[in-house]
Amino acid sequence: MSEPAYIQDIGGYEGKTVTVQGWVADKTDKGKLQFLRVRDGTGVIQATLFQKAVPPEAFDLAKHVAQESSVVVTGEVRKEPRAPGGYELSVSDMHAVQLARGEFPITPKEHGIEFLMQNRHLWLRSSRQHAILRIRATIIRAIRNWLDDNGFLLVDTPILTPAAVEGTTTLFETDFYGEPAFLTQSGQLYNEANAMAFGKVYCFGPTFRAEKSKTRRHLSEFWMVEPEWAFGTLDDYMNVAEQMVSYVVQTVLQERATELKALERDTTFLEKIVPPFPRISYDEAVEIIRARGDANFKWGDDFGAPDETLISEQFDRPVFVHHYPTDMKAFYMAPDPIRPAVCLSADLLAPEGYGEVIGGGQRSDNLEYLEAQLLKHNLPRAPYEWYLDLRKYGSVPHCGFGLGVERTVAWICKLDHVRETIAFPRMLEKIMQ
């Protein structure tokens, strides 16, 4: 048998005979000539069969093989500028691993989103999904590389937790040996313990929120990266986040040009993503909304998606909105020492209408303030006792943030909805697969 090869490496085999193992994506019948498009997960290659050049069984197979049958194709790698990818396989033999049983549900024609979601397990084989999920993988790797190279230690945080981090309304409750436990909403509280132990840390994992409304930006299960560090301030957080986000975008531009092109992404917007990012206060953001959108926007209200779009439209890069009203944000946010009605928090809003991709800020390092905040937010003290300990033994100013992977992928790929940014999305819907 000739050498097995992956399609992504095929250029290195020009003139040689190789074996490609994959699936039939598509085919064209030209009588004595059969063209198959074979996909192996790393790419797609055109396989050309001349009736005279292959055994009769192989030719017959090519003529009748259904879409998404699995096949092993042997042939010589030839440069072919007209073929997608620039190479083709001049086939000498081919056999089937499994012939598809019936017509593949997803054909090149347009399908509705409902149907595609029901067939998500098969839809993943399409070139659009390949582009998106490859970009996702690159984004995740770039995030990890940046943090690892900048002194952040990966410390994993638990998924089963006893208490809320981001409010009690979106908790997923489970049964933990007869006691209630919740799927993690954020690793942050543990990150704070870890930062006091290791200085600069991050966690990166699945995060759960029972989001009871259907939007383009919300999943019930999403992936969040959360860096946290001791002796850090609100400004430090914004400096770190803008470096990290810029590195991620530039890495995708360098490494995933083909995929961005497949998605018809206009990259001029992405090329501009370099530090520094503009920074405006919540007060200034409210002024923008009142001047250009809702004249009656009330100070203290949260921004809706159209408000965020309006704010981000004023800038060509992501924009930090800082000093949100204290009452709007989670219990742990440090109040501004001069103006306690606002807190040392900031969100990063992505351009092109993508809204919040990062939430973060400086945490309160004051024991009495946090005790009062637990009461104010109606949170029971017992599950937070360990968290309060961090303010008893060498409490220091510290900060951190959380970046949502799916919203970042949606923005970089310019997708309408987060559902395509993860292989098997969990949303306010029945779990199908």
- Regarding 361 and contact with Mg ion (CB under 5 A), the answer is no
Round to whole Å and give the CA distance between 201 and 154: 6
Q: Are 98 and 71 in contact (CB under 8 A)?
A: no
Give min distance, CB of 425 to ligand 4AD, in A: 10
Among 123, 354, 401, 411, the residue binding ligand 4AD under the rule CB under 6 A is 401
The residue range among 4-12, 155-163, 171-179, 221-229 that interacts with ligand 4AD, by the rule CB under 6 A, is 221-229
- Regarding 402 and contact with Mg ion (CB under 5 A), the answer is no
Instruction: Count other Cβ atoms within 10 Å, centred on residue 197.
Output: 12
- Regarding 360 and contact with Mg ion (CB under 5 A), the answer is no
Round to whole Å and give the CA distance between 43 and 183: 37
Give the position of tokens 């000498």: 92
- Regarding 406 and contact with ligand 4AD (CB under 6 A), the answer is yes
How many chain residues are in contact with ligand 4AD, going by CB under 6 A? Answer: 22
Q: Which of residues 284-343 bind Mg ion (CB under 5 A)?
A: none
- Rounded to a whole number of angstroms, the CA Rg of the chain reads 26
400 binds, among Mg ion, ligand 4AD, none (CB under 5 to 8 A by kind): ligand 4AD
- Regarding 209 and contact with ligand 4AD (CB under 6 A), the answer is yes
Among 359, 360, 361, 404, the residue binding Mg ion under the rule CB under 5 A is 359
Round to whole Å and give the CA distance between 185 and 264: 34
- Regarding 22 and contact with ligand 4AD (CB under 6 A), the answer is no
188 binds, among ligand 4AD, Mg ion, none (CB under 5 to 8 A by kind): ligand 4AD
- Regarding 230 and contact with ligand 4AD (CB under 6 A), the answer is no
Amino acid at 262: A
The residue range among 135-143, 286-294, 377-385, 402-410 that interacts with ligand 4AD, by the rule CB under 6 A, is 402-410
Q: Based on CB atoms, which residue is closest to ligand 4AD, 23 or 320?
A: 320
**Angstrom distances, CA of residue 117 to CA of 31, 41, 299:** 37, 20, 40
402 binds, among Mg ion, ligand 4AD, none (CB under 5 to 8 A by kind): ligand 4AD
Round to whole Å and give the CA distance between 422 and 132: 9
The residue range among 224-232, 291-299, 306-314, 355-363 that interacts with Mg ion, by the rule CB under 5 A, is 355-363
Round to whole Å and give the CA distance between 426 and 433: 10
Q: Based on CB atoms, which residue is closest to Mg ion, 46 or 186?
A: 186
Among 68, 93, 166, 308, the residue binding ligand 4AD under the rule CB under 6 A is 166
Concatenate the DSSP letters of all residues of 296-362 into one string. TPPTTPPPPHHHHHHHHTT-SS-EEEE--BGGGS-TTBPBPSS-TTBBSEEEEEETTTTEEEEEEEE
| Separation of first and last alpha carbons in the chain | 38
Give min distance, CB of 205 to ligand 4AD, in A: 12
Q: Based on CB atoms, which residue is closest to ligand 4AD, 219 or 286?
A: 219
Round to whole Å and give the CA distance between 242 and 99: 50
- Regarding 425 and contact with ligand 4AD (CB under 6 A), the answer is no
**Angstrom distances, CA of residue 212 to CA of 169, 171, 420, 427:** 9, 11, 19, 9
Q: Based on CB atoms, which residue is closest to ligand 4AD, 213 or 268?
A: 213
- Regarding 404 and contact with Mg ion (CB under 5 A), the answer is no
Two tokens at 241?
């986040």
Round to whole Å and give the CA distance between 117 and 178: 35
Among 358, 370, 390, 410, the residue binding ligand 4AD under the rule CB under 6 A is 358
Question: Angle of helix 127-149 relative to helix 405-413, nearest 10 degrees?
Answer: 120
Binding residues for ligand 4AD, per CB under 6 A?
165-166, 186, 188, 209, 211, 218-219, 222, 224, 226, 356-360, 400-402, 404, 406-407
Binding residues for Mg ion, per CB under 5 A?
359
